[in-house]
Amino acid sequence: MLFGKYAATKGEAKYPTLFESRVLHVCPVIHAPAGINVFDLCGRNRNGTLTNMDPPTDWIRGRYGYAIDFDGGDDRLRFSFPMIGGTGDFTVVAWIYPTSFSKAGTVGGNYGLGDLTGIYCGFQQTTGRISLYINSGSTFISTVASTLNAWNFVVWTRKNGVAEMFVNGESSGTRTMSGSIGSSLFWAIGRGPDYSGEEFAGQIAEQIVYSRALTAGERKLLSVRPGIALTAKRSFLGGSTFNRRRRLLVGAGS
C-alpha cells in the first residue's frame, strides 16, 4: 500500500495505529504544491481537486509548512467519494487557521442540497464554535470555540451513536447522534459539495477521516502538529527530531 511520497510507512511510524481505518488523509504540510491536485496519503487514491482556486497563490507557507488557503468565497476542495455514511463510528480531525467568523465555515462534509442526510463538520457564524450536523436536522453546537487567526486542532467524532467534539483538546461534551448518515454526495472541504453560504475563510494544513472513533491517546498524538502521523519515526520523542530525509517542510510564518 502507498502512503505518499514523503510519508513514513506504517511499519516505520512510531504510532502505527494512526494509520488504521483511515478513509481520507490530506496533508499539504508534508508535500510540495501539486497544482490543482491534493493527494490522498492513505493509499486509497481519493485525491482532491482545487476548484475555483488559483494554485500559485492558494498553496501558501506558514508555521508548519504548506497549507491550502480558502478565500471564504467560492473556493472548494472536491473529492470523488463520500468518505462517511451509515450509522457507524467515525472521526474527522483537522488543523485549521480561520481568518473570519463572518459566516459559518465548512471544514469538511458531504451534506448538501442533493442529500440533506449527509454530514457537516464546521464552525458557527460569529462565535467560531465548532458544530456537527447529520441526518436531516440533528445538530450539535460545541460549547468551545476555535480561535480566530490562530492554528486550531479540531475533532468531530462518534462512537456507538454518541458524538463528541474537541477544540485544542477541550471537549464539547457529548450528545446522542445515532442517525444514519447519507452518502449520495461526495466529500468537500472549504465549502459544501453542491451549495454556497457556509464557505470557510482561512487555511487548512491537514484533514484525516477515520472510519472509527479515535482514542484519547491517539487524538493527543495528532494534536502535536500537522503531519505527525506521517513523519514521526520510531525515534520521535515529541520534540524537534523529525525524519528530515522525508523532507518535512517547516515554515516560519503564521
Extract the residue ranges of the chain whose pLDDT is less than 70.
Answer: 1-13, 232-254
DSSP letters along 73-133, please?
SS-EEE-SS----BSS-EEEEEEEEE---SS-EEEEE--BTTBTTSEEEEE-TTT-EEEEE
Classify residue 199: in a domain, yes or no.
Answer: yes
Q: So what's the pLDDT on residue 14?
A: 74
Per-residue model confidence as pLDDT tens digits over 169-201: 999 999 999 999 999 999 999 999 999 999 999
Classify residue 144: in a domain, yes or no.
Answer: yes
Question: Is 74:190 a contact under the CB 8 Å cutoff?
Answer: no
Q: For residue 59, what is the domain's CATH number?
A: 2.60.120.200
What are 190's three cell numbers?
Answer: 472549504
Question: Is 178:138 a contact under the CB 8 Å cutoff?
Answer: no
Classify residue 7: in a domain, yes or no.
Answer: no
Distant-in-sequence, close-in-space partners of 237: CB < 8 Å, separation ≥ 6 = none
State the first-to-last Cα distance of the chain, in angstroms, to the nearest integer.
34
Classify residue 252: in a domain, yes or no.
Answer: no
Structural domain harbouring 70: 16-246
Q: So what's the pLDDT on residue 155?
A: 98
Classify residue 3: in a domain, yes or no.
Answer: no
For residue 241, the one-letter residue type is: T
Classify residue 254: in a domain, yes or no.
Answer: no
Q: So what's the pLDDT on residue 2?
A: 37
Q: How high is the mean pLDDT of the chain?
A: 87
Domain count, the chain: 1
Per cent of the chain over pLDDT 70 is 85
Q: So what's the pLDDT on residue 136?
A: 74
Classify residue 121: in a domain, yes or no.
Answer: yes
Q: How far apart are CA 69 and CA 66, in angstroms?
A: 10
Classify residue 59: in a domain, yes or no.
Answer: yes
Query: For the chain, give me the number of helices (H) and strands (E)?
Result: 3, 16
